[in-house]
Structure 1
Amino acid sequence: MDIELIKTFLEVKDCRHFGKAAENLYLTQAAVSTRVRQLERYFNVTLFHRTRNNIQLTPAGEKLVPYAESLLNTLRMAKQDVTLTTEKVAHISIAGTPNTWDVYIHDAISKIYMSQPHISLVAEILSREQLTRQLLERNLDVAILFDPPKVDELKIESLHMFNLVPVTTFQNKITTPSEVQRYIMIDWGTSFIHWHAKEVSGITVPVIRTSTARIALDLMLQCGGSAYLPDMLAKPFIEQGKLFNINNLPIFERELFIAFHKENENEERIIDIKNLLRKEAPEAPAIMKPKVV
């Protein structure tokens, strides 16, 4: 099948008009109509209800849309990968859990981008289980995470240490965990959860749970609240008087790890990235302005 037939079908679907679709594709209206008829003959269905100034998809046309879009996206990705191969550009995929982006990857990516111009990066947010599976399947080059899997095929190294500090938007003095107001529970990984249950057991029932520190911070600045945040994320807001340390609650030291497959064909590039990330620790994030509600 000619891929141009699929492109034409999607253009008519978007425009709901054969003439406008023809203009966008730099074709004649007759050529557009011919392509649509060819596609209809291929599937042996009618794809559009054709009435004057009112082109609508048939049920068969509606079903074809996601397949057509997926086909075009797959071809675009294939073209990109083939082009990278011919241009000898290294293709590196890096991913982390939501909170590793908040703490580290978000700012570290810019350093990789600036210092490694010959690398084509793919950056994603994945769950811990997805990270492990994709590393083992060689579909992911680098993972940054809090609780690395103990798998022989993977190489795990420490990347960064930081503190999770208890902070609040309320100025009244807190002496016990039970006095914490509007607590937001952030998922900082398995070891933090176990530590939290043991060391801060008397804390109030969370008003919300989230896997993203920036969501928690945004809620705190808008509506008030308390949470364990990375020291580098909380610092500028403490200095501005928007957040306050809860001095009577313990601090948790968190370690960040980098993981990659021992037999990855991009090992040299990965080592360069690892050394860069370890040497150039991300700076404190830019200050977020609270939204007006």
Structure 2
Amino acid sequence: MDIRVFKTFIAVAENKHFGRAAETLYITQAAVSARIKQLEEYYGTQLFIRDKNNLRLTPAGDSLYSHAHLMVSQMEQSKIAVSIADKQRVSFNIAATPNVWDAFFSSRIHEVLELYEHLSLNTEISVREAIQRKLDDRTLDVGLLTDPIKDDDFNNELIGHFDLSLVGSRPDFDAKTEDYILVDWGITFHKEHALHHKVVPSFKTSAAMIALEVILAKGGFAYLPSMLVDELIDQQTLFSVESPLQVNRPIYMVSRKNGANEDVVQQFRLLFNRA
């Protein structure tokens, strides 16, 4: 089945109109109709209900919609992978949780780019569960996390630390504070936070930059990387608040044992050992 048929199906489903789908795809409306007919014949069922001025998916069409997106996405990814292989460049994939990216990795990305200038480097920000899943299915080479993955199939190496500071738009902070922002700094942080703080957060986020922007715009408190807030504290834009928590957080480089790019992972490890 031609992948263009699925792209056409998605365009019709999203535009709810054959003509607008044709304009989006730069093809004729007749071509759109022919491709949808081909798809309906292949699956042996009607995919659209064609009421006047009300084109909508049938239950079968609705079921196909997510699969069509997946097939198109996988095909595009395969084209990229083949293109990379054709140019004889090794692909290396790194993911970090949002908190690690903001507090640690973003300031070092230029060093990584210099180290891997001969590779096709891919970076992403993702949640811990997705990083573990991608490491497990070998679509990811390295994950950067604040907590190790306790599994015999993974290597966990401590490669650095970063400091957190409890800061606010004003110096007074207590359990009655109504504008506290809880930033996700990992499993260990959550356990310590529950022991030492009874304050109820008004907002939760996994990204330090989002928390900082909210505080600067509307006020509030949050645990943020010291590197992000030291200058703001010096300027008295923010205030440092004494904290009962251990605010030095670890960074773990996690990789799958016996991975395909072990030599490149070793170079990555040495980069942070030199820091």
1:204 and 2:174 are equivalent in the alignment: no
Structure 2, gaps ≥5 residues long: none
Give the equivalent residue in structure 2 for 1:56: 55
Give the equivalent residue in structure 2 for 1:266: 261
SS of match in other structure, 1:151 = coil
**Correspondence list, 1:115-264, <5 A:** 115-171=115-171, 182-198=179-195, 201=196, 204-247=199-242, 252-264=247-259
Q: Which residue identity lines up with residue 45 of structure 1 in the other structure?
A: T
1:74 and 2:74 are equivalent in the alignment: yes
Residues 180, 203 of structure 1: 8 Å contact kept: no
Q: CA deviation at 1:244?
A: 1.1
Deviations 1:41-88 (A, max 9, x none): 223334456688x57244244443333222211111122222222322
Separation in 2, partners of 1:129, 1:25:
36
Give the equivalent residue in structure 2 for 1:291: none
Residues 165, 251 of structure 1: 8 Å contact kept: no
Q: Which residue identity lines up with residue 210 of structure 2 in the other structure?
A: I
Residues 166, 243 of structure 2: 8 Å contact kept: no
Separation in 1, partners of 2:25, 2:223:
54
Give the equivalent residue in structure 2 for 1:287: none
The aligned length equals 274
- Report the more deviating stretch, 29-38 or 152-161: 29-38
1:103 and 2:100 are equivalent in the alignment: no
Give the equivalent residue in structure 2 for 1:4: 4
- Report the more deviating stretch, 85-94 or 239-248: 239-248
Q: Which residue identity lines up with residue 267 of structure 2 in the other structure?
A: D
Q: Which residue identity lines up with residue 81 of structure 1 in the other structure?
A: A
Give the equivalent residue in structure 2 for 1:91: 91
Q: CA deviation at 1:112?
A: 2.3
Normalising by structure 1, we get a TM-score of 0.77
Q: CA deviation at 1:263?
A: 0.9
Identity %: 36
Q: Which residue identity lines up with residue 192 of structure 1 in the other structure?
A: F
Normalising by structure 2, we get a TM-score of 0.81
Residues 186, 211 of structure 1: 8 Å contact kept: yes
Separation in 2, partners of 1:29, 1:180:
60
Greater C-alpha Rg: 1
